[in-house]
């Protein structure tokens, strides 16, 4: 059994789907051992608490890089975490942490990496740029996290169409549906050693 830590900052819809899939046996061999939020205001936190999971709030504010790194690592070690699942976690992970958990940190991004990713590409902005560029398709990508932003090896990617009258909000919803499908699939692939 591998222990997962799911990191969130917002609504946590990816987290929710992953938790449901674990519960229903659609992701096997994992235990959701910790949900960590960068803010106490994350809506997903309440869901995790109500589900009886162990939760933690870790606020980066006024902390040095070393303090962030040591603080996060001790929380992860306390729960004997094997894999970190970033699910809408808005903060950048410190390099020491990324190094320690190399090939054991996954992230999901709402575009077809290497397009529309990197610093500043989050939230609606991603979809606004896709539409502005006149793209005919977009999608989502699950990838390993390395020291860069959205630069780690790709685990799974799936596309969806972009329609001429799409608004960023409409496209965001279409992409989010794909995210919910592929994140659980990618976790299962990694856990079963298919990747
Ligand atoms: C998703 O679009 C994900 O790709 C990005 O942040 C968003 C999180 O959404 N990294 P949610 O909190 O899982 O609903």
Expressed in angstroms and rounded, the spacing between residue 80 Cα and the centre of ligand 1 is 25
> What pLDDT band is residue 32 in, cutting at 50, 70 and 90?
very high
pLDDT value, residue 111:
98
Task: Break the chain down into helix, strand, coil percent, rounded to 5.
Answer: 35, 20, 40
Q: Is the pLDDT assigned to residue 150 strictly greater than 90?
A: no
Determine the average pLDDT of the residues in 150-165: 96
pLDDT value, residue 106:
98
pLDDT value, residue 148:
86
Expressed in angstroms and rounded, the spacing between residue 127 Cα and the centre of ligand 1 is 13
Q: Is the pLDDT assigned to residue 149 strictly greater than 90?
A: no
Angle at 151 (CA atoms; ends 91, 103), nearest 5 degrees: 80
**Tokens 């903060």 belong to residue:** 91
Q: Is the pLDDT assigned to residue 194 strictly greater than 80?
A: no
Determine the average pLDDT of the residues in 45-54: 96
Q: What is the pTM of this model?
A: 0.95
pLDDT per residue over 97-132, tens digit each? Answer: 999 999 999 999 999 999 999 988 999 999 999 999
Mutate to test the pocket of ligand 1, among 9, 44, 108 (most ligand atoms within 8 A of CB): 108
Residue 127 and residue 170: Cα distance in Å, rounded?
9
Expressed in angstroms and rounded, the spacing between residue 67 Cα and the centre of ligand 1 is 26
Verify whether ligand 1 is closer than 6 Å to residue 88 (CB atom).
yes
pLDDT value, residue 193:
87
Which residue minimizes the CA distance to atom 9 of ligand 1? 88
């Amino acid at each position: 059994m591998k222990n997962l830590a799911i990191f969130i900052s917002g609504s946590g819809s990816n987290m929710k789907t992953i938790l449901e899939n674990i519960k229903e046996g659609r992701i096997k061999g994992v235990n959701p051992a910790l949900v960590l939020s960068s803010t106490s205001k994350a809506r997903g936190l309440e869901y995790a608490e109500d589900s009886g999971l162990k939760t933690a709030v870790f606020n980066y504010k006024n902390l040095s890089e070393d303090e962030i790194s040591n603080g996060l690592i001790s929380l992860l070690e306390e729960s004997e975490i094997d894999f970190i699942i970033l699910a809408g976690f808005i903060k950048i992970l410190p390099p020491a942490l990324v190094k320690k958990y190399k090939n054991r940190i996954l992230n999901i991004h709402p575009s077809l990496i290497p397009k529309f990713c990197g610093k500043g590409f989050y939230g609606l902005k991603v979809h606004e740029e896709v539409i502005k560029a006149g793209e005919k398709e977009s999608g989502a990508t699950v990838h390993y996290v390395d020291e860069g932003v959205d630069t780690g090896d790709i685990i799974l990617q799936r596309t969806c169409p972009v329609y001429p009258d799409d608004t960023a909000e409409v496209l965001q919803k279409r992409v989010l549906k794909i995210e919910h499908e592929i994140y659980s699939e990618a976790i299962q692939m990694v856990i079963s050693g298919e990747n």
